[in-house]
Amino acid sequence: MKIAVTGGIATGKSTVCRVLAQRLDVEALDADQICRDLMEKGQSGWLGIRRIWGERFFDAEGAVDRGLFRETIFAEREIRQKLENILHPLVRDEIERVSREKNLHGEDLVVEIPLLYEVGWQNDFDRVVAVFASDKRCIQRIINRDRTTEQEARKILAAQMPIICKALQADSVIDNSGPWTYTCLQIYRLARFLRKKP
């Protein structure tokens, strides 16, 4: 079984994904980490960036200047789309490669994909788990984590697909708005249910 875990910013999807994978005793992949790995010097994402933009986004050592790149892709939609066109097929291929390998050994896989619905990959998976948290809780987490203002936090949240839209499309929802103990109980119950699935 191939399971996707998705959610919005500050919903706690990374932690939920990690705990779910531990409970199922399977490997967890992180689509964002795959992206970061692909942008390492000499990797296919790095090569694609250099092919399209030359030296523009590289530091003196030839590594991608992530800070400059991050600022630019948020400010310039066209550059963000070109980057996504480079990285998304590579990420999808890597997830598929690992999934086929696991399948050969009869093993399951859990994959954290924040933009699952935005990129239209939901049908690549046997089950989708959305991690939900209230806007109020997410805003507070963004403020605490990024040391930013409430206004900035609201702007960050507003730029994303509403988490309720993801929750309504998912096969399972973990509500991470309350105490962590309550979240864990939901994850344990979901893991027990998934272990019984053929």
Same structural domain, 21 and 82: no
Closest by Cα among 135, 115, 147 to 177: 135
Kindly state whether residue 31 falls inside one of the protein's structural domains.
no
pLDDT at position 71, please? Answer: 85
Please give the residue range of the domain that contains residue 17: 1-26+113-198
Please check whether residues 103 and 180 belong to one and the same domain: no
Give the integer Cα–Cα distance in Å for 173 and 96.
24
Q: Using the 3D structure, point to which of 107, 137, 158 is the last residue of a domain.
A: 107
DSSP string, the chain: -EEEEEE-TTS-HHHHHHHHHHHHT-EEEEHHHHHHHHTSTTSHHHHHHHHHHTTTTB-TTS-B-HHHHHHHHHH-HHHHHHHHHHHHHHHHHHHHHHHHHHHHTT--EEEE-TTHHHHT-GGGSSEEEEEE--HHHHHHHHHHHHT--HHHHHHHHHTS--HHHHHHHSSEEEE-SS-HHHHHHHHHHHHHHHHH--
129 and 195 part of one domain: yes
CA distance 78 to 71: 13
Residue 130 in any domain: the answer is yes
Q: In what order do the strands lie in the sheet with 127-132?
A: 27-30, 109-112, 2-7, 127-132, 172-175
Provide φ and ψ at 65, rounded to 5°: -80, 90
67, 91, 107: which is the final residue of a domain? 107
* Same domain (yes/no): 44, 66: yes
173 strand-pairing partners: 130
pLDDT tens, per residue, the chain with 198 residues: 999 999 999 999 999 999 999 999 999 999 999 999 999 999 999 999 999 999 999 999 999 998 898 888 878 889 989 999 999 999 999 999 999 999 999 999 999 999 999 999 999 999 999 999 999 999 999 999 989 899 988 988 888 899 999 999 999 999 999 999 999 999 999 999 998 876
Q: Residue 164 maps to which CATH number?
A: 3.40.50.300
With both helix axes pointing from N to C terminus, report the angle between 77-104 and 44-53 in degrees, rounded to the nearest 10.
160
Q: Is residue 101 assigned to a domain?
A: yes
Domain end point (choices 107, 131, 165): 107
pLDDT at 25: 96
Q: Is 170 part of any domain?
A: yes
Q: Is 101 in the same domain as 152?
A: no
Whether residue 181 sits in one domain with residue 130: yes
Total number of domains constituting the chain: 2
